[in-house]
Amino acid sequence: MWRTGVVFTGLVIGLASLFQLSAVTVVSNIFLGVMCITFPLRFYYKLLELLRWNPGVHPFQSCLDYDSSLTNKETVMLVEETVLLIAFAVTEIKRLVFIENIFDSIKFVVLLYLLTYVGIQTNGLTLVISAVIAVFSLPLLYKKQQVRIRRIARAVRAFLKRVKSLFSSVYDLARPPPASAPKPAISAANVPKQKAKSK
């Protein structure tokens, strides 16, 4: 919990600082603030080591020993996932823009129209801060209100299904009927044979 709190607080404060300062200034001040903590601790442990009260233990040895490098296999997997994600995004945008499916393109147009209003009211940084707050708070909210959220989600899903069926019926009514195949003409030679069979 304390790690989550530190990460959440740091992210929100850092993003909120970008409203007044540039990104370079914010990043520099963050690292300066961290080093204002690490330098005194390192000097304190070094002083204890010189006074022989400390056997020479580094206060941040666990952080230094942590291996954050990627192996060749992990690097290849990460690159493959990134390329697949980009290719999927390009394919979906192409499918929506060039109207492969009318309903999906209509939903995309509605989303873009709503985003224009969101862009007028807020900027991208506000949306990023809101997304960070949502990522950290929504799991806890879902854990506490799980039954109610599932009930609301079922109601929303049923409403969207009704709307989709309504649009489908309107589209089927507006679409011209498909041309039916011509029926084969009954020849005169077949009629006497059928009458003869009936006798």
Considering only residues 71 and 189, tell me which one the structure prediction assigns the higher pLDDT. 71
pLDDT digits 0-9 by tens, 11-53: 888 888 888 888 888 888 888 988 999 898 888 888 888 887 7
With tokens 């854990």, the residue in question is 143
Q: What is the pLDDT of residue 198?
A: 47
Between CA 40 and CA 29 the distance in angstroms is 17
pLDDT digits 0-9 by tens, 161-175: 888 888 788 777 776
Ranking 20-24, 76-80, 149-153, 187-191 by mean pLDDT, the lowest is 187-191
Three-state secondary structure of 46-69: HHHHHCCCCCCCCCCHHHHHCCCC
Task: Output phi, psi for 185, to 5 deg.
Answer: -75, 140
pTM above 0.85, yes or no: no
